[in-house]
Structure 1
Amino acid sequence: MTLQPKQSMAAEIKAAIEAEIESGTLPPGALLDERTLAERFGVSRTPVREALQQLAAQNLVRIAPRVGVFVSRLSITQLRETLELLGELEAVAAKLAARRMDDEQRASLEASMAQCVEASNENNGKQFAEANATFHDLIYAGSHNEYLAQQIHSIRRLMQRYRPKIFLTPAQRQKALQDHRKLADAILHGDEVAAHDAMLQHAPVGTTGFSEFLSTLPASYLEGESGLGSSPPAAATGAKRSRGGVTGEEGDAKPRARRGLSRASAG
């Protein structure tokens, strides 16, 4: 079925914004201005509104009536619970990969491990993050459980906005490398129990691991514990206008709304 021009443009805008959210270009709490986005993409506000509504359905943005549209934030509790779920699902994938990976996939996993080492040696955080994603994707594919892989990818997409800073330091990359080596060895030797345990240890869900993960996040990335309608942290206020439809962060929303901030429900 061929997309109508308006539908096609909405899909393109959605994909562009989604990529910027996942890369961290649009951080949690960032305020998205409909009018500015329309100017950026050279379209009317209708396809922009459609794109934002689609992103809201994926929990990537939050539409606050009479206030604005924001990149969704998670509370500390939501982050912990999401990481716990992700860690358990990834551990199952690792166990199944140890059982089911074929020879070609095992060779690809070993090659991916070498790419992680190379990126770490070159002190390239971005390259390491890409190699890390490939390493994990190979494990999911190696589980030969498509539904499991889909669920993991869905959660990782939700979490991706919180991960851009996770491999910035050599110490972070070295820890990930050690975890990857244990994982790869267990999977390549067909040791299901060791693969499951290694993935659980790799996930930042323990007390120390989760605390270290939180320490990489600005306070403005976190939602209040009382829920999505709670007041944002003070650190979220005062962000300056930037390009690409970002007009600040959630704590800065109400003053801007009084100055005519476009709304997702506006014409």
Structure 2
Amino acid sequence: MMQPMNRPSSLPDVSDNDDEPQSRIAYRLIEAMIVTHELPPGSRISEASLSAKLGIGRTPIREALQRLSFEGTVKIVPRSGAFVSEIDLVDQLAMIEVRKGIENVLAGRAARFAGDTERKRFRELALMFEKSAATNDGHIFVEADREFNSLVVATARNKYAAQAITPIEAQTRRFWYVHFKQFGDLQRVCTLHAFVARRIAENDEAGAREGSDKIVDYAEEYTRKTLMFFGMG
């Protein structure tokens, strides 16, 4: 079985990101807390508490919460504050419908435009996915997948596709963290991701598009399993 996806004992290390804007650091840290349920669905978010915990000013915290609100993981209620959004299981299938087309475009463009630096990193990410499968370590997959998604978007050079996929990926990460251990197949998803990473590294646009579709098809498969388990299929 896949190793348990326990909550991290500490927040992601940001010590090497001195030039990164504080609002972006706050966004990454708060999103990690939401994804791992350190901030569980429905919980109220205190700007003051987050500022003290993260060592970041309240203005960057507020900007991060605005971005998370756009992505749908945070709900801002006038005169009441910010709350972590609930996970809507049925919405996952609607997002998958949209996700397939967008990710197909992004994967194809990433393969078309990837230069030497990007190609090298995609090969390294393929090795990370393969290591995750070989060691049955879901934490390696989470780390590799986050960078893989970001690198695909950056390499594809299409701001409209990037804007469209960002909120979907945010919701998908939360759903994955909660349900994948029970309903997913780590070896299979790692193999699919490694294939796409290698196709992009080879500038194989058709192969990258085909592999991307298979990833989303698999996501739909385990999402339907999850919904059936909860009597929603």
TM-score by length of 1: 0.59
> Aligned partner of 1:30: which letter?
G
If asked which structure has higher relative contact order (CA below 8 Å, sep 6+), I would say: 1
Q: 1:94 aligns with which of 100, 107, 115?
A: 107
| Aligned residue runs from structure 1 range 84-233, under 5 A | 84-165=97-178, 168=181, 172-204=185-217, 208-212=221-225, 214=227
Q: Give the match's secondary structure for 2:177.
A: coil
Deviations 1:96-141 (A, max 9, x none): 1222211221121111111122233333211221012222322222
Report how many residues are paired.
205
For residue 214 of structure 1, report the CA deviation from its aligned partner.
4.2
TM-score by length of 2: 0.66
Cα RMSD (Å): 4.0
- Give the structure with the higher percent helix: 2
Q: 1:30 aligns with which of 42, 47, 57?
A: 42
Measured in 2, the distance between the counterparts of 1:66 and 1:146 equals 34
1:119–1:127 Cα contact (<8 Å) kept = yes
For residue 199 of structure 1, report the CA deviation from its aligned partner.
0.6
Could you list the runs of 5+ residues in structure 1 that have no partner in the other structure? Answer: 1-8, 223-267
Q: 2:34 aligns with which of 21, 26, 38?
A: 21
Deviations 1:206-251 (A, max 9, x none): 75343135479x89xx9xxxxxxxxxxxxxxxxxxxxxxxxxxxxx
- Mark the structure with the bigger radius of gyration: 1
> Aligned partner of 1:31: which letter?
S
For residue 180 of structure 1, report the CA deviation from its aligned partner.
2.0
Measured in 2, the distance between the counterparts of 1:206 and 1:15 equals 24
Q: Give the match's secondary structure for 1:163.
A: helix
* Alignment-derived partner of residue 263 in structure 1: none
Moved more, 153-162 or 89-98: 153-162
Q: Give the match's secondary structure for 1:203.
A: helix
For residue 91 of structure 1, report the CA deviation from its aligned partner.
1.0
% identical equivalent positions: 25
